[in-house]
Amino acid sequence: MPAVTIRNLSEETHRALKLRAALNGRSTEAEIRGILEAATLPRLKLGSALAKVGKRVGGVELKMARDAADIEPARFE
């Protein structure tokens, strides 16, 4: 598995990372790995997120009546 070394990290940043890791109940290395993964993984778009929720709950039935009226074409005058 690839490894990364970060040089010249300030003491303040290192302390903040250690504190953040402790608050999240994990090692500093695991915290940094989580931060990097969250920053670089593709984000789920809204439509995909809603579809995922829909699949998880078994789908959603929408009872809507279709309007049978003819559609008027757009006029550009």
Please report the domains of the chain, with CATH numbers, ordered by start residue: 1-67 (1.10.1220.10)
**Four-CA torsion 6, 25, 11, 7, nearest 10 degrees:** 0
User: How many residues in total does the chain contain?
Assistant: 77
pLDDT at 28: 96
What average pLDDT does this structure show over 41-56? 86
pLDDT tens across 6-40, in order? 999 999 999 999 999 999 999 999 999 999 998 99
Amino acid at residue number 73: P
pLDDT tens digit string along 52-77?
888 888 887 888 888 888 988 999 98
- Tell whether pTM > 0.85: no
Within the chain, residue ranges assigned H as helices are 11-23, 28-40, 46-56
Helix (DSSP H) and strand (DSSP E) numbers for the chain:
3, 0
